Structure 1
Amino acid sequence: MNWSLLLSGLALCVSLGTVIYVQRRTDRRELTKWRRDTLMQTTANLLQAVSDIEDCHRKYLLSEDPNETYQRPYRNEELKTAIDRLIMCIHIYEICECDELSSIADGYRQREISDMVQVAMMESHQEMYNPDLFLKDKADLFDQIKSDGERTDIKSALQKAIGLKNENHISKS
């Protein structure tokens, strides 16, 4: 039997196996990097959208003019755009199979719908209000709907999703 032929075939198989292993490992690493970058960018977009939504509400609800010309939040194009960005973030989280971030983003969306309904209900009765009472109710509604620390939930979920934090390792934040 020709040992050199056998050893050549074995070397060929080992080198082919090594190439396949390295290629799969590189593909997995690239996919992980893409997912991490996408999740971080999407979370930044989500936080910006939530901030824009809060700004829209803040502009309207903290206005001192009961007859203001500012478009009401539920008719505001800036608000609609921010909500569309928020919904896009939810879809990207679902594509990245990140259920926890998707759930948090959907919670923001549901809260925004609830806030818009509250503003619409308050405005539908504006004619019955004394202007000072209307301004006070707007300010009270603003205090009720402003965000309350949910951003820490996003930070924790993002850290877990990109591998900076897992069940066995408690990250020092």
Structure 2
Amino acid sequence: MYAFVLATILVALAEMGDKTQLLAFLLAARFRQPLPIIAGIFVATIINHAGAGALGVWLTQLIGTDSLRWLLGLGFIAMAAWMLIPDKLEDNMAQSPRFGVFGTTLIAFFLAEMGDKTQIATVALSANYAQDFVWVIIGTTLGMMLANVPAVYLGNHFAQKLPLAWIHGVAALIFAVIGGWILIGGMDMRMLTH
């Protein structure tokens, strides 16, 4: 039970102001359908965190901490560049997304969570509490939901007042700063594997 409580608290705190919380806000502003967005976040988080818990430690040992640092740093910078590419769906908010609101949320959230600090926290917690693997995944998922459900409802409430181009620019800047910080060694990758 300790692993569950610790995982819930750590991930809920780590998610505050995180890129996936910003993504939840943007999805809510774009689609204005909170329930399928919340369901997509929930399913994406379970899949992502279960995979992180099961495979993360093995992959980290396989590629080594220095390679992991480069992979994560360059990945964040690539996401920053991608954020600046205009999305044609934003030009017509009434247009239906290709995969539906649930599917779009599931895909976007799953991809955004790759290499994210909450995914890395899930890897570390699963390594430390292997006997409580299921409780770790339940806790990290609950932590994500505690941080993102309010963002979905706030995004839905303020949908018509959001300057999406400005938000994308700020998000891109955040991604680029995090990527640069990882690349210059601001994050000690060894602490994630111990």
* Same-fold call, TM cutoff 0.5: no
| TM-score, length-scaled by structure 1 | 0.37
Bigger radius of gyration among the two: 1
Judging by fraction of residues, say which structure has more helix: 2
